[in-house]
Amino acid sequence: MKVKNWTLIEESAGGSKLPVGGYVIKILDVEDVPSREYLRITYDIAEGEHAGHYSDAFGKQNAWSHQFVRSYKDTAEGMFKAFLNRLEESNKMSKGFTVEKWSERSDERDFIGLTLGAVIQKRLYTNDKGEDKEALEVARVYAAQDIRNGDFEVPEPRDVREQVPAKPKPQAQASASIYDEDIPF
């Protein structure tokens, strides 16, 4: 093991989980996945009691824990337009972001630094080991002002757990020797 002066290291109690609810978020990074036609958006909490929630070591090393995707497939154009409209409503006055201006270049990297409202919900799932777990996910995006005003609803947890059928109870097995004998009638 590497030699360190452990007397100088501060103890860590581990990260706290973000509560479900509405948050004003800031977009930290955007990755285009053209083969699947979606954007992977990394965010952090921008305002309030939980501002900077993902800026700790865990959040920096586990971007998956604070990402969401927005599809721009032909079948999802209307939903992507809603996302763009919420970005405009949240950033037009402060950063001059408009859908019309952004459409000229359509560069997803222009989203970095913009704020947006997001409702975070709990998702229940079954992991690869068959264990039931829970995670947080962006349920819906809003204009940042709607979040500040409390104009949103947090949905019930989304349950995508695998329903594993109950194993049949073992039955007492008869001895094989009973069946090996001739039937007397």
Residue 73 resides in a domain: yes
Residue 40 resides in a domain: yes
Residue 165 to residue 60: CA distance in whole angstroms = 38
Q: Higher-confidence residue: 152 or 185?
A: 152
Over residues 78-123, the pLDDT tens digits come to 999 999 999 999 999 999 999 999 999 999 999 999 999 999 999 9
Residue 174 resides in a domain: no
- What's the CA angle centered on 136, arms 60 and 72, to 5 degrees? 85
State how many domains the chain has: 1
Identify the pLDDT of residue 131: 92
Residue 1 resides in a domain: no
Residue 140 resides in a domain: yes
Identify the pLDDT of residue 56: 87
Per DSSP, which regions of the chain are E strands? 21-33, 38-45, 67-71, 115-126, 132-142, 158-159
Over residues 24-72, the pLDDT tens digits come to 999 999 999 999 999 999 999 999 999 999 998 888 888 999 999 999 9
Residue 3 to residue 45: CA distance in whole angstroms = 36
Residue 168 resides in a domain: no
Over residues 113-139, the pLDDT tens digits come to 999 999 999 999 999 999 999 999 999
Question: Would you say the pTM of this structure is higher than 0.85?
Answer: no
Identify the pLDDT of residue 163: 73
Residue 143 to residue 147: CA distance in whole angstroms = 7
Give the domain range for residue 105: 22-162
Residue 125 resides in a domain: yes
Burial of 175 per CB tally in 10 Å (0-12, 13-18, 19+): exposed
Residue 172 to residue 161: CA distance in whole angstroms = 33
CA 185 to chain CA centroid, Å, is: 70
Residue 35 resides in a domain: yes
